[in-house]
Chain A
């Protein structure tokens, strides 16, 4: 059996669930409550919902979502800025699809597109460079969002635009880094979790050691893992063990993808293009040193400098929307009074109901 098949093997999965449930029951009995774990990454949130793991572990393990959905953590002010960019004449905004339906205060990129704005969904920032090359009369602005995972590709595309000497390409960079926001989250002390499931893809870039501080400074065990049912169950098994034994060192449970020191080439691509700045996160406000801003060398590809005099202070959150608290792990989607009515994937109030990695969408689709 191939490794990939093995990782999706239902028989193995069912055996592991049995074991994890026994372990969790024992630990929950000892704690006098369900074990509280947080999955940081939106893709984990989706996988946990879509495999039915959440319902299988209900009552024993409470799985909270964290700030790991790139669209969801994009600040309301940045959304307004992106909508304003799309409205500018002669501009084509190129973006990942998830962003198109995120509601701003009065509009969204989807509505702007219906009103005549040029909003182009791309699957890679490199496609946006090709678009700029093919449409020299248009200013192509790529909405650069995401974490350590997407930033290297954006760095690459800026380099490519530079090699092509394009003057009609720029990036609105709201890239964010996960370790600083985890520090902000845990440092605030609002959320009480017994263990963390770390984002496998982000760790592939940063390395698992970038998250060692979670155990060292906050005394919480954490495991890096992949996205198949067997990966996640394995992480739960390790975490439950570590909680029981009080061992707080970070564990790399995704060794075939993640190195302790990460992907050095991707890290250097990021360093070459971006500098560390402050970023505004939905739900958190300003998190120092958590943003990747385009460096001086490539200033002419920075849409913020090219088109916007200054960054907007954070705009108003959609009224009644509790995405912010959700992203801080304080509530579950079901705790928001708008969940399911009026907020649905068809008419989302907040970004967590839009994105395919958003916790509200995951809970809604797979109730």
Chain B
């Protein structure tokens, strides 16, 4: 019996199989085949980007955010890393009967705060309620539209060997925080999600650093999955250095205990940028002055190759990073 498994939704290998093997069989727009975070297209008089995302996080309130803030940040970040200035957002709420109205209001208020920070307007919405037990508390689906500057040319066709690879900060915080909160692991003290709208800092970088060639956000599947997808789409290798990767001590420690690799854990306030090496230091400087880029680092470079991601370990060895395969599972002992 062939059925949908949880792993089909983890953003890794099985998700890709499902998208390529099923959805693309029926939907043939070349825009869909960009495989980027948002579809960018020309519209009379402007260039637009559109993206859509469902949010099903459990628990819905977690250290560093909640499902509402996450929905706004996730959608605006998908637009921003595609080069767009997010402008409008719509939201569809599917709510389980019996959900506390006070919690709903708390969550909607938090969405409003995130919208204000990102500078996007909520312009349409929909509400559905399903009988108790038909879904878990609350799911939110958001769609975002943004404007792309006319001359901006970001994409997989741009990187060349020698380009620098940078990230805007510590890796794995969101994934580990959610896991620790969901399973009551008692590790939550020092952990918080990095959930944040990145469009302002990305827009600033866009203006100051025309050498940026492309960006990806590092959500499901973490740095490894995004880096592997970039390498494959560009037909080049990414050569990263373990000692340059920013990982918080709390994340490293907790991931160690659970046998998880922070490089495969989700982030909700992190992006990877590929940039002309001459501008990399400037970009890092700009990022470091921003709350959402304080731990920014150049983590490696683009190399000639065939779509692999190599990580040079601190000991001087080399390992290959790949797509996330299956949900990150903690080990037994």
Q: Which residues of A contact B (CB under 8 A)?
A: 8, 10, 13-14, 17, 42-43, 46, 49-56, 70-71, 96-98, 100-101, 110-111, 113-115, 121-123, 127, 145-147, 149-150, 201, 229, 344-346, 354-357, 365-367
Contacts and interface: CB of A to CB of B under 8 A. Distances in A.
A55 B332 contact: no
Interface stretch (B68-76, B108-116, B313-321): B313-321
A123 B185 contact: yes
A149 B333 contact: yes
A114 B331 contact: no
Nearest to B261: A50
Given A149-B333, A346-B13, A356-B259, A367 B319 contact: yes
B7 A14 contact: no
A359 B12 CA distance: 21
Interface residues of B, number: 36
A31 to B, nearest CB: 23
Contacts of B313: 50-52
B12 to A, nearest CB: 7
Interface in B3-48: 3-7, 12-14, 17
A111 B322 CA distance: 24
B5 A53 contact: no
Contacts of A201: 333
A55 B319 contact: yes
Contacts of A97: 327, 329-330
B243 interface: yes
A14 B316 contact: yes
A309 B331 CA distance: 31
B316 A146 contact: no
Given A96-B332, A147-B333, A55 B3 contact: no
A290 B313 CA distance: 38
Contact of B315 (A13, A96, A98): A13
Contacts of A71: 332
Among A121, A356, A357, chain B packs the most CB atoms within 10 A around the CB of A356
Q: Is the interface of A mostly helix, strand, loop or mixed?
A: helix
B183 interface: yes
A339 to B, nearest CB: 14
Contact of A345 (B6, B17, B325): B325
Interface in B302-330: 312-320, 322, 325-327, 329-330
Interface of B: 1, 3-7, 12-14, 17, 183-185, 243, 258-261, 312-320, 322, 325-327, 329-333
Given A97-B330, A146-B333, A356-B259, A114 B4 contact: yes
Most buried by B among A13, A53, A96, A114: A114
Contacts of B314: 8, 10, 13, 51, 229
A149 B331 CA distance: 12
A51 B317 contact: yes
B232 to A, nearest CB: 15
B325 A10 contact: no
Given A110-B7, A114-B5, A356-B259, A51 B329 contact: no
Contacts of A14: 315-316
Given A55-B318, A111-B1, A123 B329 contact: no
Nearest to A95: B332
Contacts of A357: 259, 331-332
Most chain A beta carbons < 10 A, residue from B243, B260, B317, B333: B333
B332 A145 contact: yes
A330 to B, nearest CB: 24
Contact of B317 (A53, A114, A345, A355): A53
A43 B317 contact: no
Contacts of A70: 332-333
Tell me which of B3, B12, B316 has the highest count of chain A C-beta atoms within 10 A of its own C-beta. Answer: B316
A303 to B, nearest CB: 18
Contacts of B258: 123
Contacts of A365: 261, 319-320, 322
A114 B6 contact: yes
Most buried by B among A55, A122, A147: A55
B50 to A, nearest CB: 30
B329 A356 contact: yes
A56 B317 contact: yes
Contact of B330 (A10, A49, A52, A356): A356
Contacts of A345: 13, 325-326
Residue among B13, B258, B314, B318 with most chain A CB within 10 A: B314
In the A-B complex, list the 6 residue pairs whose CB atoms are closest, starting with the nearest: A52-B317, A97-B329, A345-B325, A52-B313, A10-B314, A149-B333
